[in-house]
Structure 1
């Protein structure tokens, strides 16, 4: 069977089509097709608190194209979720109705905690070393989801309004950064030797810029050096 997932993010809109590789428990999927369209809805939502007519039109056209692609690929079922940008846009519910009417896509705007739960539902923790502690960091355009695991058990998970588009638009708040720090400190203070796992387009780009081999961890000192280098640029 073939399924699809549509992610309406603050930076880009994605369609992932995947096939069931193993139907046993847990079910595993094999990626068939991934399409990314950089609409940057967050630029509107975080500054103007609504999505512009121009970007709504682009989103509807993209959803219509995704609908046709799912039909061509013979997708059995799908789930379409909108995250941070659509959560904050005053006209988010109106856009959901427009997408349903004009593109035939049932779109849901999910809350920050549900977004974190969806990430956890991927069961990536089952591939980790049970003897280690992990802080899973998913950085998006409008929000960052943190999930802390110990002994393969989810200890705590939370979504924060900190993301790459929000930062570029100077819409991140000091209090949110402090809230994130408090979350990390309060949930990890009783644990030692914590390994960070980062995901997201910008995290992947940093790893490539660091020129590390795939599967090898990125050292903190090297990350600091890379940050210093990038900070020297005006943009």
Structure 2
């Protein structure tokens, strides 16, 4: 049997943070690929705060983005990354100067950024390796909560049924930019797609639910209950922003968005009548890695 190992890079330019994931795709003849995370670097450049309030990315955050891209380029060189993709989501696609900044970064940092729409984002997220979580006898609603949008994907009996992106994100909620009609639209959609199924479990991805899962002390693969998440939500609200940083040991850019993220997951559970949420620690970056591998191997 022949063995092959290829190193890939994934840059996820989100509304709350910008991430670089470096991973290897290891293959052996006759076996499925094995993806191994090598490095994850996250910088809290909150582009959504600019875009959702002023319509464009500020000069300060533009300069921070440029520095981050230069650093990511060097990190990929040091790691000997063979191929990479850089995708920008809700904040960049809503910024009046988004494409202009992408062009500047390509010219000056050597990184080509593709600004993708919500459906493309949902499709990439759906590529993530869920085989350790999904039971082909069950139905799941996959909920990926970001700063600018939330992607919902319904999986039934091992297959993707439907997915949709809504502009309901943590940074938007912090700025009171999600109206009741959008909440109602998301609720109606989730209820409609879940209606044919009697029992649904949730799968949650995103930095906030990962943080909540880690604090729960649960073993990987075990779900959080609706009751636990609701109780934790109440606990978070009882702390001030400063107390969440000090007493709960949260990053500054996590301590505010974690509350609206909790609200989104709880509503998704209520709409779908899910009693449990599984947290497999996957997201857009993982989907990007897999999409590069698939393109490389024409899958």
Bin of the TM-score, shorter chain as denominator length: over 0.9
1:177 to 170, 176, 183: 183
Which residue number corresponds to residue 16 of structure 2?
11
Q: Deviations over 1:31-85 (max 9, x none)?
A: 1111111101110011111000110011011101111111111111100000010
- Mapping of 1:106-121 within 5 angstroms? 106-121=112-127
**Whole-angstrom distance in 2 between the partners of 1:47 and 1:26:** 45
Mapped pair 1:105 → 2:135:
no
Mapped pair 1:28 → 2:34:
yes
Highest relative contact order (Cα 8 Å, sep 6+), 1 or 2? 2
The CA deviation at 1:183 is 1.3
Indicate conservation of the 8 Å contact 1:126/1:152, yes or no: no
Which residue number corresponds to residue 212 of structure 1?
218
Which residue number corresponds to residue 80 of structure 2?
74
**Whole-angstrom distance in 2 between the partners of 1:155 and 1:215:** 23
Which residue number corresponds to residue 7 of structure 2?
2
Mapped pair 1:56 → 2:62:
yes
**Whole-angstrom distance in 2 between the partners of 1:218 and 1:96:** 39
Mapped pair 1:39 → 2:42:
no
The CA deviation at 1:234 is 4.8
**C-alpha RMSD over aligned residues:** 1.6
> How high is the TM-score relative to the length of structure 2?
0.75
Indicate conservation of the 8 Å contact 1:130/1:150, yes or no: yes
The CA deviation at 1:28 is 2.9
Find the residue that maps to 1:186 and give its secondary structure. helix
> How high is the TM-score relative to the length of structure 1?
0.94
Q: Which runs of 5+ in 2 are unaligned?
A: 1-5, 242-299
Which residue number corresponds to residue 92 of structure 1?
98
1:152 to 147, 158, 167: 158
Residues matched between the structures, number? 235
Moved more, 28-37 or 102-111: 28-37
Q: Which runs of 5+ in 1 are unaligned?
A: none
